[in-house]
A and B are shown apart, each in its own frame.
Chain A
Amino acid sequence: MLHVIHPGLFTTVQDEGRPGHAYLGVPPSGALDRGSFHLANRLVGNPSGAAVLETTVRGPELRSEASSVLTLAVTGAPAPVLVDGRPAPFDAAFRVLPGQTVQVGAVTAGLRSYLAVSGGLDLPPVLGSRSGDVLSGLGPAPLEAGATLPVGPAGLVPVVDYVCPPGVFAEPVLDVVPGPRAGWFTDAALGVLARTAWRVSPTSNRVGLRLEGAMLERLKKGELPSEGTATGSIQVPGNGLPVLFLRDHPVTGGYPVIGVVTRAALDLAAQAAPGTTLRFRVRGR
């Protein structure tokens, strides 16, 4: 069991999410930076889909109330990690004794860090997932001071000591595949998408990145009936400013999608803090 002394700025429980339920209006949800999420679990010997904490900007302060030694690892956006006030490694496993506190400080780059604990966070799953979904409200609520996080029985002894972390880029370039509604835009719009240095707006969250930079002009002005939207969709509402849908995105949308970023690019998007400049590289499928 981990006791939450301080929740951090915005910390949620995340795992692989709940794909397969979109036809019932359920967002996919799940850890936003999959590479860092999987790495955190590998470092503590968990199955790759075990539930972890996803932090935003500043991580939590936790006290171990477990009866045995826990193995922890923090990955993703680099941040100082302290155990009882002493520095602990990042992107590598470390031990925490019963009664000790763990603190994840403010990120020095990127946005989201991942804290995995051996055994995984054992909260009750909803539709097969322990992910907290900010759009639908399914799954565990964001962390609050005083909460307790049950930890499952540790399985394997971790065999991975160190893995080259995926890294966080200051000016990420996101690969995007045109479609499905690229035809609703002027011929120039894809060029504008590729040429513009997009700034991530502070109103961004797990639902999506709101981007500022240029207007993507539409050719077809009519209303688009509600249709399914893939994770990574770049949807363009009436004001012409794109929104990149992350994993808590709505299942259907009423605005045309000019392109969809690749799975690899989604990890980069997850670390794009407000104010970050990002670019798109349009490629064929």
Chain B
Amino acid sequence: MSTSLYAWPAGETGYLIDVPETDPARVAQGLRIVAGRRRIELVDVVPGLSTVLVTLARPMPPGAFRALLAEVESEPVEDAADTGTITVGVRYDGPDLDEVAALTGLGVQQIVEIHTSTGFRAAFSGFAPGFVYLTGVPAVLRVPRRAEPRAVVPGGSVALADRFTAVYPRPSPGGWRLIGSTDMQLWDDAADPPAAVRPGMTVRFRQVA
């Protein structure tokens, strides 16, 4: 069996899969399905921007892992459970809104229109529990991070940086440009799953008063 996905060793029981052309969240979902069918115990499957890190409960030789990957590639995951769309209500009242307007040459209303009319893709989590990097930011809306990060970004802040947009689920330090805020609770320790937005989902923003 051959596969276009390449896996690098990542410790005794892990592999880092390069996912150059396809969607890491989709490969991650495919891996869970195939591993479940073959009763291979996975500890963690972590999508990145163009990779998937897999940690297995037991070591697996590279040849066997390649065979598993080939199966993943031929696995249709259209009906995957962990997808779906979530709409987040946003007040566009962020302290960096004027700066973003200056950097992009857009008016505030144009920024709001572009941000609310785009379907973003939840690509991967990181940085903090429930912090999800949303891709699909149109080129006109791409702004660099702040030169000096804020010591505290309020929870619920909606932000832009480079190719990503995101919602800070809880107060934390952060260097992204804050364009708005939401009352929606995106992280709940007691919920299962605790994160409202998970890799593979589509996220839309809606302006609220």
Contact = CB atoms under 8 A, between A and B. Distances in A.
Contacts of B130: 24-25
Main secondary structure of the interface of B (DSSP, over half): strand
Contacts of A260: 9-12, 14
Contact of B51 (A21, A28, A137, A228): A228
A250 interface: yes
A59 B151 CA distance: 31
A23 B130 CA distance: 9
Interface of A is mostly: loop
Interface residues of A, number: 38
B134 interface: no
A21 B126 CA distance: 11
A49 to B, nearest CB: 15
A155 to B, nearest CB: 26
A232 B132 CA distance: 24
A23 B48 contact: no
Interface residues of B, number: 38
A20 B8 contact: no
A137 B43 CA distance: 22
A263 B48 contact: no
A70 interface: no
A262 B130 CA distance: 28
B42 to A, nearest CB: 8
Given A19-B43, A177-B9, A250-B126, A24 B194 contact: yes
B49 to A, nearest CB: 4
Nearest to A232: B11
Contacts of A232: 11
A231 to B, nearest CB: 8
A228 B55 CA distance: 10
Nearest to B12: A262
B31 to A, nearest CB: 11
Interface of A: 19-26, 28, 126-127, 136-138, 177-181, 183, 225-233, 250-252, 257, 260-263, 285
* Complex A-B, nearest 9 residue pairs according to Cβ-Cβ distance, in ascending order: A228-B53, A228-B46, A252-B126, A260-B11, A227-B48, A25-B125, A180-B8, A180-B16, A225-B49
Given A23-B198, A137-B170, A179-B8, 8 more contacts: A22-B125, A183-B8, A225-B51, A226-B133, A228-B47, A228-B53, A230-B16, A250-B126
